[in-house]
Amino acid sequence: MTGMLDDRRDLVAAVRGDGALVPAVREALAAVTPGLAPACCIVPRVPAPAPLADLDDERLDRDVGDVLVAVLAEVQRAAGAFSGGGRLVVVLPHAPLLGIPGGVAASAVTNGVLSMARTLAIELARDGVTVNVLAVDAAAPSIRALTAGLEALLGDAGADVTGQEVYLTAGTDLGRLRP
């Protein structure tokens, strides 16, 4: 994951990561009303679906391990810049969180990051940092919906919201899929 820090003054938050949702997050952030706390959105790269038989050790290291290490590095970088509090939002595609055919590596990344975010919410709360996850169906919700979700979590009203997993899917895939 390449750290892509957006230092433009017209954005409320830095956007870090190289996931497919980066352009949508940047567009949504352009309309967010800045909050008082510094903020960062992390958008990790999620591997494309592939058959289970194709997941050899090298691919797992690259597509899963490297991404999880990069996310943790971005979190440490962002948290280090938050002096006296901040907001951290991880933006993930919703489908691999719920389960998709051929999605073992993608599920490992998204659910690993989701679990990491829950733990980080507990650990960083003592420093006044909130950590939340937005699970997005890029094909279903509008930029307006993404903007509203980001504003709720990054703005001043989100100061006491942490450890949450919010689905922005326009009603698709409500809840967890069951086998």
Q: What is the mean pLDDT of residues 35-53?
A: 92
Q: Are 17 and 43 in contact (CB under 8 A)?
A: yes
Q: Which residue has the tokens 């280090």?
A: 80
> Is 20 a member of any domain?
yes
Higher pLDDT, 120 or 2: 120
CATH for 106: 3.40.50.720
Residue numbers of the domain that contains 125: 14-168
> Is 42 a member of any domain?
yes
Separation CA 38–CA 69 (nearest Å): 23
The reported pLDDT for the residue numbered 174 is 59
Q: At what angle do helices 66-81 and 104-124 cross, to 10 degrees?
A: 20
Question: Domain total for the chain?
Answer: 1
> Is 6 a member of any domain?
no
Q: What is the mean pLDDT of residues 142-167?
A: 92
pLDDT band at 125 (very low <50, low <70, confident <90, very high): very high
> Is 178 a member of any domain?
no
pLDDT band at 149 (very low <50, low <70, confident <90, very high): very high
> Is 174 a member of any domain?
no
CA nearest to 35, candidates 91, 85, 90: 85
Q: What is the mean pLDDT of residues 79-88?
A: 89
> Is 90 a member of any domain?
yes
pLDDT, one tens digit per residue, over 84-102 is 899 999 999 999 998 899 9
* Mean pLDDT of the residues in the chain: 87
Structure tokens at 59: 């691919």
